[in-house]
């Protein structure tokens, strides 16, 4: 088990791919330690994302779908071993990936910070799961067996929107609420995680674009939550003076 301070984003991403709030060992540890409840809404209800206005993925056989496949095959032909190693690394991107060069919070990481991101993860997991279930889009290697061959671990679950893209975008937006002067850096890191999912062959480009749109949509809902806004102020108060 990795240290808590290095697994906060990994919790988010693992939840996105696991299909349930209690599906990953990281989530179970988080729930036990922080006394979090998987059925409680902390900031944003997942129910609205069963019907929220959101564009569907390209239809099978459409020009857009063929363009998605072409992009996957293009990367498959030109990616290097170094590209695949990097995609494997960002698939497991952890807390330090966003701010290890310029830490936001003092060490050891305050427990309030850990629990804030775990509450966020529990809410977000249900929302992403509901979005994926609406379309049940197969991943490239399932939609085109024998053509699309990923060079990183084959993820389970559905493809649209991308969980990594969604979670990293939300995470970057949340960090930007805490430290707005670093928004460009956080978004760049989130985009890096997202693009590596295409390079690695486990997502179509439109999955990535949808994940970014969903991340921004979800963040707009977070901003409507009084509890979230209060917690952001608490996070700001924990920053070094």
CATH number of the domain where residue 183 is located: 1.20.144.10
pLDDT by residue, tens only, the chain of 241 residues: 233 333 445 554 443 333 333 333 344 444 444 456 667 899 999 999 999 999 999 999 999 999 999 999 999 999 999 999 999 999 887 666 666 667 788 878 788 988 898 899 889 989 999 999 999 999 999 999 999 999 999 988 999 999 999 999 999 999 999 999 999 999 999 999 999 999 999 999 999 999 999 999 999 999 999 999 999 999 999 998 8
Residue 57 belongs to some domain of the structure? no
Residue 94 belongs to some domain of the structure? yes
Enter the pTM of the model.
Answer: 0.86
Residue 11 belongs to some domain of the structure? yes
The residue among 117, 131, 237 whose CA lies nearest residue 168 is 117
b/e per residue 121-149 (b: at least 16 CB within 10 A): bbbbbbbbbbbbebeebebbbebeeeebe
Residue 183 belongs to some domain of the structure? yes
Residue 68 belongs to some domain of the structure? yes
Q: Which domain holds residue 222?
A: 4-36+63-237
Residue 160 belongs to some domain of the structure? yes
Query: What is the tally of structural domains in the chain?
Result: 1
Q: For residue 184, count other CB atoms closer than 10 A to its CB.
A: 10
Provide the pLDDT for residue 67.
98
Residue 199 belongs to some domain of the structure? yes
Provide the pLDDT for residue 6.
37
Contact 85, 167 (CB under 8 A): no
Which burial class, exposed, middle or buried, applies to 157 when counting CB atoms under 10 A from its CB (0-12, 13-18, 19+)? Answer: middle
The residue among 216, 212, 210, 211 whose CA lies nearest residue 64 is 210
Here the tokens at position 114 are 């850990």
CA distance 147 to 144: 6
Question: Strand (E) positions, 3-147?
Answer: none
Residue 52 belongs to some domain of the structure? no
The pLDDT tens digits of the residues spanning 81-138 come to 999 999 999 988 766 666 666 778 887 878 898 889 889 988 998 999 999 999 999 9
């Amino acid at each position: 088990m990795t240290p808590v301070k290095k697994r906060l984003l990994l919790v988010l991403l693992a939840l996105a791919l696991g299909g349930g709030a209690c599906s990953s060992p990281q989530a179970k540890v988080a729930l036990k330690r922080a006394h979090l409840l998987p059925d409680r809404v902390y900031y944003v209800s997942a129910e609205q994302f069963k019907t929220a206005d959101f564009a569907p993925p390209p239809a099978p056989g459409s020009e857009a779908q063929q363009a998605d496949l072409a992009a996957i095959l293009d990367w498959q032909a030109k990616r290097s071993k170094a590209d695949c190693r990097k995609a494997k690394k960002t698939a497991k991107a952890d807390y330090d990936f966003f701010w290890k060069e310029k830490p936001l919070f003092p060490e050891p990481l305050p427990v309030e910070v850990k629990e804030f991101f775990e509450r966020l993860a529990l809410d977000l997991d249900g929302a992403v799961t509901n979005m994926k279930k609406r379309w049940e889009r197969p991943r490239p290697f399932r939609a085109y067996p024998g053509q699309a061959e990923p060079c990183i671990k084959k993820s389970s679950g559905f493809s649209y929107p991308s969980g990594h893209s969604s979670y990293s975008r939300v995470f970057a937006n949340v960090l930007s609420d805490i430290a707005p002067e670093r928004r460009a850096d956080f978004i760049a890191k989130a985009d890096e995680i997202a693009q590596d999912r295409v390079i690695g062959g486990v997502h179509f480009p439109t999955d990535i674009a949808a994940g970014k749109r969903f991340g921004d949509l979800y963040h707009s809902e977070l901003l409507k939550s009084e509890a979230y806004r209060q917690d952001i102020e608490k996070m700001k108060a924990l920053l070094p003076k």
